[in-house]
Structure 1
Amino acid sequence: MAPAEPTGRIDAETRDGVCRLVMNRPDKKNALTIAMYTALTEAVEQAEKDPAVRVILFSGAGGNFTSGNDLRDFLDHPPEHESSPVFRFMTAIARAEKPLLAAVSGLAVGIGTTMLLHCDLVYAGTNARFLLPFANLGLCPEAGSSLLLPLLAGHRRASEILLFGEPFSAVKAKEIGLINAILADSELEAYALDLARKLTAKPQASIRLTKAMLKKTNAGLI
């Protein structure tokens, strides 16, 4: 009997100008399949086009952000071209003009950490754990992380994180500037959602222009 296809979904809901994108595969700690990457990409692209959406907020279901890529699914469907859903998602968040926020609880492995480098505001629960395991897996860092992490944390701290590939806490993530604040796990999503709503009330032209100016340093590099 052939193994069952991996399941999982992206829950998308827009309310009060905030598009909430929830990675929902709690039985696998929200490990991302190719199908989930496709859904994420389409949701981000649609939110960028939708005038009702002013802010995009990422989170995960079941107490984790994401445990990274579903390795079995990736072995079956390796991302080899720019048209791959994986690369399309990375491009979508790197080029997003609307503010990207993230509420991180539990595990944030691989893409779960590298995607945060493309978010504008990131908040984490006290139980959040971050991991960039690429060197341990014989891989190069993904999603521009070898450029963006040193810009954020400095060369030596970025080297420590990327070369050793060891997990680190929310406290360290805040120290290196990866996240804005640490919240009690029970308060995390409500806090992030409240800040997202505050952004929706501001003049949108100035919000987008400010984001563009902040990112201009990295324009064309990622």
Structure 2
Amino acid sequence: MTEHVRIERKGAHLRLLLNRPERRNAITVAMYAALADAIGQAQDDEGIRVITLEGEGVDFTGGNDLADFTNELPQDGQTDIPVWRLLRALATNQVPIIAAVHGNAVGIGTTMLFHCDLVVAEEGTRFKMPFTELGLVPEAASSLILPRLAGRQLAAKYLLLGEPFGVEEAERFGLVTHRAPAGGLDEALGKVVATLLSRPPQALRLTQRLLRGTKHDEVLERMDWENGHFSERLTSDEVKQQIMAFFAARAAKA
């Protein structure tokens, strides 16, 4: 586990909190591992009926910690690195999972939401998937799921151009299920959690599995395809140049 992921069990509610606010909750390799382990272990615990995924501070998450991530590059053919484990755990998860998002939800901060059953978003939340800006490709099977939700042209707008979008647009194409007013995220999330916990537990889990259907293999296959390209891109000169430019721009603002 890591201090940057707070894991709290409150009865049947498992709360996973990204707890690195000083770095906009940028996700490290250790954080990916902690999240993957917690979600994976919840599968076998019938006492857990709801999982929530939240972020401390002003942002849900700024996405990957690029410095940490590039120091832990996957080796050829490696499929068990923490980030891939987390994505597979989310895709095959059989416990209702709710994300509560606010501020910025960047990169995997948006794509992981495609695998949550419900998404509560505070007004002002900004979603962005800047993969091509960094010379990378989509992950989390977003190249499969997003066109099905939003249509190919909108998916191209978000994935090819990396254009940001807000809560209203995310709700319109089905990513966001509940909107919370500014400052009202905790209250809105609490109501959804309370409703789910009031339902008979077996009916809840079975309904969640029925909603997800039998397409795990298709999603996992697309993840593997994306991950292969993503790993190749990480070692390319193009990506190295883009990441160097990213850090140079950030240093200039400091």
Is TM (by shorter chain) over 0.5?
A: yes
What TM-score do the two structures reach when normalised by structure 2? Answer: 0.81
> 1:8 Cα deviation (Å)?
5.5
Q: Does 1:37 align with 2:35?
A: no
Contact map agreement 1:102 1:119 (CA 8 A) in 2: yes
Note the alpha carbon deviations across 1:106-149, whole angstroms, 9 max, x for none: 01001100000000000111121000111222211101001111
Q: Distance in 2 between matches of 1:102 and 1:94?
A: 14
Unaligned runs of 5+ in 1: 1-6
Note the alpha carbon deviations across 1:181-210, whole angstroms, 9 max, x for none: 221131112211221121122122222222
- Which residue of the partner structure matches residue 156 of structure 1? 153
Identify which of 54, 57, 62 aligns with 1:67. Answer: 62
- Which residue of the partner structure matches residue 201 of structure 1? 198
Task: Provide closer, same or farther for how the CA distance between residues 26 and 134 of structure 1 changes in structure 2, counting only shifts above 3 A.
Answer: same
Hey, which of these two has a bigger chunk of helix by percent?
Answer: 2
Contact map agreement 2:119 2:178 (CA 8 A) in 1: yes
Letter in 1 for 2:27: L
Q: Distance in 2 between matches of 1:122 and 1:47?
A: 19
Q: CA RMSD in A?
A: 1.4
Q: Secondary structure at the match of 1:67?
A: coil
Identify which of 90, 93, 102 aligns with 2:90. Answer: 93
- Which residue of the partner structure matches residue 163 of structure 2? 166
Q: Distance in 1 between matches of 2:215 and 2:198?
A: 27
Q: Distance in 2 between matches of 1:151 and 1:204?
A: 30
Unaligned runs of 5+ in 2: 220-254
Contact map agreement 2:91 2:216 (CA 8 A) in 1: no
What TM-score do the two structures reach when normalised by structure 1? Answer: 0.92
> 1:33 Cα deviation (Å)?
0.3
Q: Does 1:9 align with 2:10?
A: no
Contact map agreement 2:92 2:216 (CA 8 A) in 1: no
Contact map agreement 1:174 1:180 (CA 8 A) in 2: yes
Task: Report the identity percentage.
Answer: 44
> 1:155 Cα deviation (Å)?
1.6
Contact map agreement 2:170 2:176 (CA 8 A) in 1: yes
> 1:59 Cα deviation (Å)?
0.5
Q: Secondary structure at the match of 2:175?
A: coil
Note the alpha carbon deviations across 1:22-42, whole angstroms, 9 max, x for none: 001001100000011111111
Note the alpha carbon deviations across 1:83-116, whole angstroms, 9 max, x for none: 1001000011111001010000101001100000
- Which residue of the partner structure matches residue 215 of structure 1? 212
> 1:46 Cα deviation (Å)?
2.1
Note the alpha carbon deviations across 1:52-77, whole angstroms, 9 max, x for none: 21010001000211100000001111
Q: Secondary structure at the match of 2:199?
A: coil
- Which residue of the partner structure matches residue 223 of structure 2? none
